[in-house]
Amino acid sequence: MGELTDKIKGAANEATGKTKQALGRAAEDSNLEAEGVAQEAKGDIQKIKGAVKGKINKM
C-alpha cells in the first residue's frame, strides 16, 4: 500500500473506532467499546506507517 492509502485507511479506522467506543459506552457494552479502542489504535498505526513511507520516499 502507498502512503496516501495507509493514511486514508488509518483515518477511517480511527473514526470507526471512536464511533464504536461511543456506542459501546451508550449501550453499556464493554466489548464494543474495547473493539473501538483497538480499531482506533490500528488506525493510529496505519497513519504512522503512511507517514513513514512518505518520509522514506522523500529521501
How many structural domains compose the chain? 1
Could you tell me the pLDDT band of residue 48, with boundaries at 50, 70 and 90?
A: very high
The whole-number average pLDDT for the span 40-59 is 94
Domain range for 40: 3-57
- The tally of CA atoms less than 13 A away on the side-chain side of residue 7 is 8
Element (H, E) at 58: none
Non-local CB neighbours of 10 within 8 Å, separated by 6+ positions:
42, 43, 44, 45, 46, 47, 48, 49, 50
Please give the grid coordinates belonging to residue 42. Answer: 490500528
pTM: 0.86
**Cell, residue 16:** 470507526
What's the CA gap between 39 and 24, in Å, rounded?
13
Q: List pLDDT tens digits, range 12-45.
A: 999 999 999 999 999 999 999 999 999 999 999 9
